[in-house]
Amino acid sequence: MRRGLVLVVSAPSGAGKTTLCRKLLATDPEISFSVSYTTRRPRPKEKNGVDYFFVDENTFQKMINQGLFLEWAWVHGHFYGTAQKQVEEALTSGRDVLLDIDVQGALQVRQRLGRDAVLVFILPPSLEELERRLRARGTEEEEILKRRLAAAKEEIAKANEFDYLVLNDHLEEAFSNFYAILIAERQKNFRQQELLSRFR
C-alpha cells in the first residue's frame, strides 16, 4: 500500500482555489476533502459537516487545549482549524487528503508533517486581475475588498515557502497543471517502497 499524502492548497481569495479544489475532488476518487472546523457562521447553502464543522469559540478553544488540531489559525476574524485525527487516519490507510487552508495553516502543516505534506500555492495572473475578479463577484464591500487585496499581497509574499506554484490564468490549463502535481507526487519513491519490496 502506498503512503497517503496531504495536498495543501493556499491562495489569496479570488485566485480560484475553491474551483480548482472542487474540480480535483470531482475528478479523482482517491483524494478526499478534510472538513475544517470554524467559528464563522454558515453561509446560505453551506452544510454542517460538509463544508465545515461550525462550532462556537468555546468549543474551538477547548479543541485547541486538547491538542486536537493539526493546525489552526485566525483568518479574516474567525478561527479555522484542521482536525489531526481525520488527516492521520487517511494517511495511514493510504488515502490522500486535500486541505484548503490559509498560508499560516499551510506552514504549520509543513512543520508537523514534513514530506507527507505537499504545498501548492495558486497565483492569480496579477494583482490587477485579482482585484477585477473580486469586484466581479460583487459581494464584497469596498473596505473589505481593500483588506482582501492587502492580505493577498502578504500571502503572496510567503509563496516561496511552498513546493509548487500554479498560475491560474486559464482554468483548464491551471487544473491540468494542478492535477499533474498530485499524480507525480504519488509516484515519489518514498511513497511507493512497497512496490520495490515485491522484488526483494
Contact residues: ligand 5GP, CB under 6 A: 36, 40, 71, 73, 75-76, 80-82, 100-102, 104-105
User: 52 CB contacts (<8 Å, ≥6 apart)?
Assistant: 35, 36, 37, 38, 40, 42, 46
Residue 2 or residue 53: which is nearer to ligand 5GP going by CB? 53
DSSP 3-state of 10:
strand
Residue 146 Cβ, how far from ligand 5GP at the closest point, in Å? Answer: 17
Residue 109 or residue 191: which is nearer to ligand 5GP going by CB? 109
Interstrand relation of 96-100 and 31-33 (parallel, antiparallel or unpaired): parallel
Smallest CA-to-CA distance from 70 within 44, 101, 45 is with: 101
CB 72 within 8 A of CB 65: no
Amino acid at 196: L
Residue 134 or residue 191: which is nearer to ligand 5GP going by CB? 134
Residue 6 or residue 186: which is nearer to ligand 5GP going by CB? 6
Residue 53 Cβ, how far from ligand 5GP at the closest point, in Å? Answer: 10
Q: How far is it, in rounded angstroms, from Cα 173 to Cα 58?
A: 43
Residue 126 Cβ, how far from ligand 5GP at the closest point, in Å? Answer: 20
Q: How far is it, in rounded angstroms, from Cα 143 to Cα 77?
A: 14
Residue 36 Cβ, how far from ligand 5GP at the closest point, in Å? Answer: 3
Q: Which residue is nearest to ligand 5GP (CB)?
A: 105
Residue 107 Cβ, how far from ligand 5GP at the closest point, in Å? Answer: 9
The alpha-helical segments, DSSP class H, found in 66-102 are 84-92
Residue 105 or residue 124: which is nearer to ligand 5GP going by CB? 105
